[in-house]
Amino acid sequence: MSFGCNKAQPVNNAGKTVYIKNENGKYTLYRQGQPFLVKGAAGYTNLKRLKEAGGNTIRVWDTVNLANILDSAQANNLAVIVGLPMPPSLRMDEFYNTPQAAVFTKEITAVINKYKNHPALLCWCLGNELTFPLRPRFNRFYTVFNNLIDIIHQNDPQHPVTTTVMTFQKQNIFNIRYRTNIDFISFNIFGSIQTLKQDLQDFKWLWSGPFLIAEWSIEGPWVAAKQNAWGAYVEDASTKKAEQYLATYRNYMPVNDPRFLGSMVFYWGQKQELTPTWFSFFDEHGTQTEAVDVMQYLWTGKKPPAKAPDVKYMLLNDKGGHDNILLGPGATSYAKVYMNGTDTAKLRYKWQLLAEDWFKPNGIFSEKPPKDIKGSFIENTGRTVKFKTPVNEGPYRLYVYVYNNNGYFATANTPFYVLNNP
């Protein structure tokens, strides 16, 4: 079975709402008859701000509350990539080799037929970061996967189908190329975006079809260099992260590749992933970070006038996150956030002490909000605080949120460990 978008044959796209056209090796996504370069974000909130910033697309991972999301996107003139979640391919004996697969196929078909005519729909994304294995025992997975693609093509020929892979994994791409009939491939890519241009070029012999960057961001909390002695990940301040978003896009995004369909930044909203701030462009109330301005500049070429607070770093007892801060239970400690610039009189500071999730291998973190340790702060003067450490042994993290009057905030945090000496 060959990969659809690598086929060098004419395709009749007349009357289609969304399609991909290959013109002498240059792939272009068309929507409603016009070329459509995806300038988007993963997430489903703050849609008005996304449109104001120059974005045109959102991506969701499942069909929860999908009707409202599609309607909200349409109201803001945004397109939606709708995720159709699939169980991992490794679940052969308890899913793909059981009647559950047929029930699941029926449910997905109902979703397709319910939403296929919604004007905000851009395409379907079947599965997220699935493994596409080589071994023959996984043939049943491919049967179910390709059957779902065929059902989508038959029931909704107006919208293409993609799937996402984590980074540029050659085995996955090989199997997508030769064992599926997907329309185009999407990458969820973080730090490995630094080699993506070269990877795409080196392995063009294997796969030369169109691609979308479905998730890109700063490096995530799974890199060993960011860990301290007990495995806590050290997070950069939001000001530095904004600089990293800009540099990552400018230096590594393959915008000049003729197969490039666009990109979607991660994450347009507030999301708990190790910390509540690592990937979050907003807080839970919709206040924005400087990274929003970075994306507006990248999407429009114009820098917005408002400016977020400029945080340099935070120190806890004059130490930073890489300094392996060990504290006793109930100890009195102090922290200070350091700012760039002198115009800080109108800034507001919110400090928070949270219990840290215990760290798991392979970058798997709980999405449950961490426990807020109440009553810890003894003294708070804004940029500095004095607090009592918790009495229970374990990992914790101190956060500061700095707000201004322009609808922006900046943030920094420092991990520490409470150690009960024997």
The DSSP-derived string for 129-186 is S-----SGGGHHHHHHHHHHHHHHHHH-TTS-EEEEEES--HHHHHHHHHH---SEEE
Calpha distance 68→74 (Å, rounded):
10
Residue 186's nearest CA partner among 138, 133, 130, 135 is 130
Instruction: Note the pLDDT of residue 359.
Output: 63
Q: In what order do the strands lie in the sheet with 332-339?
A: 311-316, 332-339, 384-388, 377-380
Instruction: Note the pLDDT of residue 8.
Output: 38
Calpha distance 289→402 (Å, rounded):
10
Calpha distance 111→118 (Å, rounded):
12
**Residue 385 vs residues 142, 380, 391: alpha-carbon distances, Å:** 57, 4, 19
Q: Are 262 and 212 in contact (CB under 8 A)?
A: yes
Strand, helix or coil for residue 66: helix
Domains located in the chain, CATH noted: 4-300 (3.20.20.80), 311-418 (2.60.40.10)
Give Dmax over CA atoms of the chain in angstroms: 75
Instruction: Note the pLDDT of residue 220.
Output: 86
Q: In what order do the strands lie in the sheet with 26-31?
A: 18-23, 26-31, 34-35
Q: DSSP state, 106?
A: H
pTM of the model: 0.93
DSSP β-bridge partners for residue 311:
339
Calpha distance 245→253 (Å, rounded):
11
Residue 65's nearest CA partner among 81, 50, 41, 44 is 44
Query: Mean pLDDT in runs of 10 for the chain (422 residues)?
Result: 43 82 95 97 98 98 97 98 95 93 97 98 97 92 97 97 94 94 95 93 90 95 81 94 97 97 98 93 97 98 89 97 95 96 82 85 69 94 96 96 95 96 62
Q: Are 58 and 50 in contact (CB under 8 A)?
A: yes
Calpha distance 409→406 (Å, rounded):
9
Instruction: Note the pLDDT of residue 50.
Output: 98
Instruction: Note the pLDDT of residue 389.
Output: 97
Take residue 193 and report the two structure tokens written for it.
């975006």
Q: Are 60 and 81 in contact (CB under 8 A)?
A: yes
Instruction: Note the pLDDT of residue 2.
Output: 39
